[in-house]
Structure 1
Amino acid sequence: MSVDALNAVCPYYTMYPLDFPLAVLKRHGKPGEWVIDPFCGRGTTNFAARLLGMPSVGVDSSPVAAALAKAKLVYASPGHVVASARAILNAAKEPADVPSGRFWKLAYHRKTLVELCHLREELLKDCTSPTRVLLRAIVLGALHGPRPKGKPSYFSNQSPRTFAPKPNYAVKFWTERNLRPDAVDVLSIIKARAERYLAEPPPDVEGMVQLADSRDADTFSNVPKASWVVTSPPYYGMRTYLPDQWLRLWFLGGPDYVEYRQPEAQLEHTGAMHFSAEMARVWTNVAKRAASDARLIIRFGGIHDRDAEPMDVLRNSLADTGWVMKTARRVPDADTGRRQVRQFQAAPKKSIAEYDAYCRLA
């Protein structure tokens, strides 16, 4: 297995490829230089920095994102992770809270669901050690996904692996196709994944991840001066990050139903200019924690139900923040490899062009 295997521990619907931050930092960065990602998502920038010996800080307002990003900065052996899972499952009594209802009955075999609840309760009590941080990420990655023809690699009935199926649609989908959940071996799946993702340890590099709001200046108060800010903020109008991850949010202590209310920690999408102003607060905050020769690289695009030009939104967000855009390059076709939506529902629309914007401090 490759040293970068850990980056794939849990897929994320809006993730960008490791090649993006890795190429940027490898080309111009130096070991020891600090990297900030104020919208770190599942920690791809942080992991790229780790591979290159660069310490990093990641910030995200999503509990799922923060949990996955934290796993990208620690290490434990596959054996320790499996032993931790085995100890939890062997010592567990009947879990206090097992979700019920048509969705849960069809999503997981009863035995599988009970074991997932055991793991959930114990990791909610204590998830501070590297071993448990990695166990949590491995479970999150296996929580839902496609049913293979061979050995099971996910805990759920047929599902997308990058986003959680919505209950009503999923029940209809499974019922019409007479799909019933299999009784899978939870520990075997954890073992296989631990051996896949943790076989070769990445470099031991300093790093930190905060579950926080990047618009708040205090979020960066203890962050070292950074030479690089590499990030991809939410695209204007994209507000479904948390509902799309509702099953993983449940495992992290959230409700056992989809919650569509937008948290205060997320950027507001009430208008293009307002959204730009929200992002501007973030760019201003990271500029204050950036070295004089720091660079800011942003991957940004748009979605179909907003008519604002993405690059106009981005340019407006950079005004009066201390950053000046020097150049922008179009990203190659973002539609390649988009099989996740197609396997569970209608084919997605062709994606809107994405750009990489390269900025320096004024």
Structure 2
Amino acid sequence: METTNLNAICPYFTMFPLDFPLGILESYSEVNQWVLDPFCGRGTTNFAARIYNCPSIGIDSSPVAVALTKAKLVNTKVDQIVRAAKRILSSKTEPVVPDGEFWQHAFDKDVLISICKIREALLKRCDSETRVALRAIMLGALHGPQSTNNPSYFSNQCPRTYAPKPAYAIKFWKERNLKPPKVDVLNIIKKRAERYYGQNLPEGCGFVIKGDSTTNLAFVKAKRILNKYDSKVKIIITSPPYYGMKTYIADQWIRNWFLGGPDVVDYSTKSQIKHSSKEIFINELRKVWNNVCEISSCDAVLAIRFGAINNRKVNPRDIITESLKGTVWEIEKISSAGFAKKGRRQADTFSNSNKEQIEEIDVIALKR
């Protein structure tokens, strides 16, 4: 199998392991069969489809998710990425730089100027595969742990998978007298380009749609794509947000800022699946399964990884079973996916080590 480094280009706290979609594709896929993920997140399903030489479509409401998924489907080379970054950084433009105590503590002044130069250039034009790759490299390097020997991130000490909230971060840095590092932005880009785009991969072929999978619009766009190829989706592999998990946009606020969003935390949940009650959430999922049906083949397979978070006392099996009722999807089997591993599953975001972990499940449903 080809290298899977590219799948780790930007760690994302809601990611499911690559083994899950790879296992489904090994069991059900054939070359050139279309694969869909209506909650594509960081693009793990789409990357797995690329490894299996299958074209794919990803849908997600998060700009970060869309940017990362696109980057896992592009065909570009290390030297092209480095040249693009070098051209941008050598330009004489004076970018707009966010101000405030958080930004002063989070990034060295010159590093932040370089980040903003690249941000503005990519916001003006990001229509080439090389720039799509550069954008994802920047997203992955924006924040993370400091390293004195071999820096890989631009920021002061931070988590890799989510952005810290400003007040907490400022207090944390001040108490420990932590200063933002003066790193070589271009060198970090080069090292990351070599790691993620320096290996041979099957030719990428796929499309990513920014949209809400509970509505029709995203699937109208998907249908247009499929019609061009006279095809339908054969395999759907996905992991919906667990019931009660609503902060996945706010927790990516620095990456959202890089993509053109505000330089403050946005706590709104617009364009996200509704979590106001278990019944509403189930109905939202049912809308997605019905929308998926409209663009899938008569023998399509739906594979779902699902679990729960500790502050919502629900049974994941009951939620998925109920959501599939009244649809064309008939459950073939439900099996244990084990328990959330640290840093790799959605449940881990909300679970503390003293709380009991909730077993996750894998559901296979067939179109009838």
TM-score over 0.5 for the pair: yes
The answer on 1:243 being equivalent to 2:242 is no
1:359 pairs with 346, 361, 365, which one? 365
Matches within 5 A, 1:108-147: 108-147=107-146
Task: State, as a whole percentage, how many aligned pairs show the same letter.
Answer: 51
Q: CA deviation at 1:219?
A: 1.6
Conserved 8 A contact 1:92-1:118: no
Aligned residue identity for 2:290: T
Given the two structures, how large is their TM-score scaled by the length of structure 1? Answer: 0.95
1:349/1:249 CA distance change after superposition, 3 Å: farther
Aligned residue identity for 2:129: P
Matched with 2:276 is 270
Matches within 5 A, 1:37-186: 37-95=37-95, 97-186=96-185
- Runs of 5+ consecutive residues of structure 2 not aligned to the other structure: 227-231
CA offsets per residue over residues 31-61 of structure 1, 9 Å max, x none?
Answer: 1110110000011000100110111000000
The secondary structure found in structure 2 opposite 1:146 is coil
- Runs of 5+ consecutive residues of structure 1 not aligned to the other structure: none
Aligned residue identity for 2:311: D
The secondary structure found in structure 1 opposite 2:27 is helix
Given the two structures, how large is their TM-score scaled by the length of structure 2? Answer: 0.93
Q: CA deviation at 1:83?
A: 0.4
Aligned residue identity for 1:305: N
Conserved 8 A contact 2:13-2:344: no
CA offsets per residue over residues 132-164 of structure 1, 9 Å max, x none?
Answer: 000000000000000124111000000000000
Which range is displaced more, 176-185 or 198-207?
198-207
Q: CA deviation at 1:254?
A: 0.4
Conserved 8 A contact 1:273-1:316: no
Aligned residue identity for 2:39: F
1:188/1:348 CA distance change after superposition, 3 Å: farther
Aligned residue identity for 1:293: D
Which range is displaced more, 317-326 or 8-17?
317-326
CA offsets per residue over residues 251-305 of structure 1, 9 Å max, x none?
Answer: 0000001111111x11010000100101111100111111111100000011111
Conserved 8 A contact 1:325-1:357: yes
Task: Give me the CA root mean square deviation.
Answer: 2.0
The answer on 1:312 being equivalent to 2:311 is no
Matches within 5 A, 1:165-314: 165-221=164-220, 222-224=224-226, 225-263=232-270, 265-314=271-320
Q: CA deviation at 1:334?
A: 1.4
1:347/1:189 CA distance change after superposition, 3 Å: farther
